[in-house]
């Protein structure tokens, strides 16, 4: 994948000067883990500038770790330490990143630079920053970390996001008789309600991690420091790896589908993907790094990668016990608990897309009741749905399905007696080009993709889950 410089068409490069200080380097100072409390402290600073301390609290291991487990855990903490730093680095994006906690090898630096640059692609686009001249991890002549092979049981850790995707993963693996435990990460104030409710409704055991960002970051943001989207999934993936080692899991089953690999913006060879850290490219890089440098036999994969959002929605439509508690709207996941939404906001790309993708498979009255309104019969929603269907300059910067997929879904609804007379469906169907062989295009959304990282046994489980 070509790395976009991050400069929108027609914009000039913006030098990061603003009304505050700039810094020559971002420093990874140190990390420390307390076995008694399960707390991991991560310390960062800008050279001769503000310092940060982030705290992540893990459920302590139920048993004493063997030396090889300790070695793997230390390596997983190093990876988390390096990836979590992106939240603070983005405040001033200096050219150099320096690790003082340990020597950094070229292989690790290469993985980090690719993840930071691509994962900060949207951030750079919105702020007009050229990342190709930045994100340079300083290396030393040292050997790459060597992986450890552990005696891991056939237990699967399943991260929960509160939306339809992880719910489908949970129920498919449960149906197959897999030994699964749920994983969730949230702020010290508690898990977001959709995640908590999903865990409760599933009735399964869960491991819950508390992450507290440094308060200094919020202070800098209020003072005008740079802010924007970070590759949060990369951080959550590394937290899950730490949990898998602490609590002996042989596999981590994420729930990213194939649409996560579609860029939001394409201009020639230039691409920006809001979901980069959910993409197949990142999955391959991340799982390869874990196997090559942390635990050689820990399986990390996205269970839903062969499927489209539409194929997942059809499976979710049959899981009725979750229909009233699932949520994908970002308002439910704000860090500030007082600002979290209690329902679907019904005015964002995620609300629109989930409503659209479920409409072909659910009773209209039930779907409208879940959201509280009919988004497809609301004149003010036309522009938002037009963006989803490719009738605007670019796909919304959100976790939504493929543009072509949304267009097919809207065309299908335009022939459905339940939906064809709704304002948005009627209007956009008249604006969109015809889709030849619509039935074939719709059916193709249920085909299994070949490009994925699923081990054979999990691919078989997914194929059986219809």
Q: Please check whether residues 270 and 379 belong to one and the same domain.
A: no
Left, alpha or beta for 128 (phi > 0: left; psi -120 to 50: alpha)?
Answer: left
Judged by phi (left if over 0) then psi (alpha if -120 to 50, else beta), residue 346 lies in: left
Domain boundary among 302, 335, 352: 302
**Sign of the C-alpha dihedral computed for residues 213, 216, 219 and 225 taken in this order:** negative
Residue 11 lies in a domain: no
Block mean pLDDT (10 aa), the chain, length 466? 34 38 92 95 97 97 91 98 98 97 97 97 92 93 95 96 96 97 94 94 97 96 94 97 97 95 78 93 98 97 97 97 91 56 85 96 96 95 92 83 93 94 92 87 94 95 93
In a domain, 415, yes or no: yes
What local confidence, expressed as pLDDT, does residue 41 receive? 98
Decide if 449 is inside a domain.
no
Mean pLDDT of the chain: 91
In a domain, residue 8? The reply is: no
- For residue 424, the enclosing domain spans 309-444
- In the numeric block, the tokens 């020639």 are attached to 268
Tokens of 389: 């269907």
pLDDT at 395: 85
Q: Within a domain: residue 6?
A: no
The first and second tokens of residue 273, run together, are 């993907």
Q: Are residues 294 and 317 in the same domain?
A: no
Q: Which among 268, 302, 336 is the end of a domain?
A: 302
381/426 Cα distance (integer angstroms): 13
Instruction: Give the chain's length.
Output: 466
Same domain membership, residue 275 and residue 407: no
Last residue of a domain, one of 277, 302, 327: 302
pLDDT value for 91: 96
Buried b (16+ CB within 10 A) or exposed e, 196-221: bbbbebbebebbbbbbebbebbeebe
Copy the structure tokens of residue 112. 């980090």
Place of tokens 């991340």: 286
Residues 143 and 161 in one domain: yes
What residues does 52 pair with on adjacent strands? 44
**Same domain, yes or no: 379 and 328:** yes
In a domain, 168, yes or no: yes
Q: How far apart are CA 123 and CA 114, in angstroms?
A: 15
Indicate whether 362 and 296 sit together in one domain: no
Residues 276 and 134 occupy one common structural domain:
yes
Dihedral sign for Cα atoms in the order 33, 34, 37, 42: negative
Same domain? 287 vs 340: no
The Cα–Cα gap between 278 and 258 comes to: 9
Q: Is 38 left (phi over 0), alpha (psi -120 to 50) or beta?
A: left
Between the alpha carbon of residue 106 and those of residues 4, 82, 101, 234, the distances in Å are 22, 14, 16, 19
Q: 408 and 388 in contact (C-beta within 8 Å)?
A: no
In whole angstroms, what separates CA 276 from the centre of its chain?
A: 8
Closest to 371 measured CA to CA, from 387, 348, 398 = 348
Q: What is the pLDDT of residue 396?
A: 84
Counting beta carbons within 10 angstroms of the beta carbon of residue 56, is it exposed (0 to 12), middle (13 to 18) or buried (19 or more)? Answer: buried
| Residue 205 DSSP one-character state | -
Nearest to 408 by CA among 310, 265, 312: 310
458 domain residue, yes or no: no
What pLDDT was estimated at residue 14? 35
| Total number of domains constituting the chain | 2
DSSP tag of 162: S
Asked if residue 143 belongs to a domain, the reply is: yes
Q: What pLDDT score was predicted for residue 433?
A: 80
Do 337 and 278 sit in the same domain of this protein?
Answer: no
Look up the pTM and report it: 0.92
Q: Are strands 39-46 and 51-57 parallel, antiparallel or unpaired?
A: antiparallel
231 and 335 assigned to the same domain: no
Residue 219 and residue 331 in one domain: no
What's the pLDDT at 15? 39
* 187 and 254 housed in the same domain: yes
Chain mean position to CA 44: 23
């Amino acid at each position: 994948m070509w790395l976009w410089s991050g400069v929108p068409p027609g914009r000039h490069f913006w030098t990061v000067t603003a009304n505050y200080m700039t810094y020559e380097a971002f420093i990874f100072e140190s990390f420390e883990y307390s076995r008694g409390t399960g707390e991991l402290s991560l310390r960062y600073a800008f050279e001769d500038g503000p310092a940060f301390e982030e705290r992540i609290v893990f459920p302590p291991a139920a048993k004493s770790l063997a030396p090889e487990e300790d070695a793997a855990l230390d390596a997983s903490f190093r990876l988390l330490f390096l990836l979590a730093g992106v939240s603070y680095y983005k405040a001033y994006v200096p050219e150099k990143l320096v690790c003082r906690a340990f020597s950094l090898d070229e292989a690790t630096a290469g993985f980090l630079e690719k993840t930071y640059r691509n994962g900060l692609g949207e951030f750079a686009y919105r702020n007009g920053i050229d990342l190709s001249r930045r994100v340079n991890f300083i290396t030393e002549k040292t050997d790459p970390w060597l992986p450890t092979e552990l005696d891991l049981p056939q237990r699967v850790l399943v991260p929960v996001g509160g939306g339809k995707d992880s719910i489908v993963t949970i129920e498919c693996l449960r149906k197959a008789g897999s030994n699964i435990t749920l994983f969730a990460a949230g702020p010290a104030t508690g898990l977001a309600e959709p995640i908590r409710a999903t865990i409760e409704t599933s009735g399964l055991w869960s491991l819950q991690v508390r992450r507290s960002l440094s308060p200094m970051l919020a202070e800098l943001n209020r003072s005008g420091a740079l802010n924007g989207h970070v590759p949060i999934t990369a951080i959550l993936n590394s937290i899950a790896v730490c949990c898998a080692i602490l609590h002996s899991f042989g596999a981590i089953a994420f729930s990213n589908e194939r649409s996560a690999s579609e860029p939001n913006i394409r201009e020639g060879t230039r691409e920006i993907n809001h979901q980069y850290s959910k993409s197949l490219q990142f999955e391959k890089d991340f799982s390869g790094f874990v196997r090559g440098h942390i635990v050689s036999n820990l399986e990390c994969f996205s269970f839903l990668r062969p499927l489209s959002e539409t194929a997942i929605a059809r499976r979710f439509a049959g899981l009725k016990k979750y229909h009233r508690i699932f949520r994908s709207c970002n308002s439910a996941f704000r860090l500030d608990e007082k600002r979290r939404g209690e329902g679907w906001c019904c005015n964002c790309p995620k609300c629109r897309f989930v409503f659209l993708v479920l409409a072909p498979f659910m009773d209209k009255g039930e779907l409208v009741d879940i959201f509280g309104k009919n988004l497809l019969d609301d004149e003010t929603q036309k522009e938002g749905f037009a963006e989803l269907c490719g009738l605007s300059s670019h796909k919304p910067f959100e976790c939504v399905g493929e543009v072509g997929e949304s267009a097919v879904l809207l065309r299908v609804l335009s022939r459905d007696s339940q939906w064809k007379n709704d304002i948005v469906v009627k209007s956009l169907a008249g604006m969109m080009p015809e889709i030849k062989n619509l039935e074939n295009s719709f059916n193709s959304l249920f085909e299994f993709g070949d490009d994925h990282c699923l081990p054979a046994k999990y691919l078989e489980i997914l194929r059986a889950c219809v």
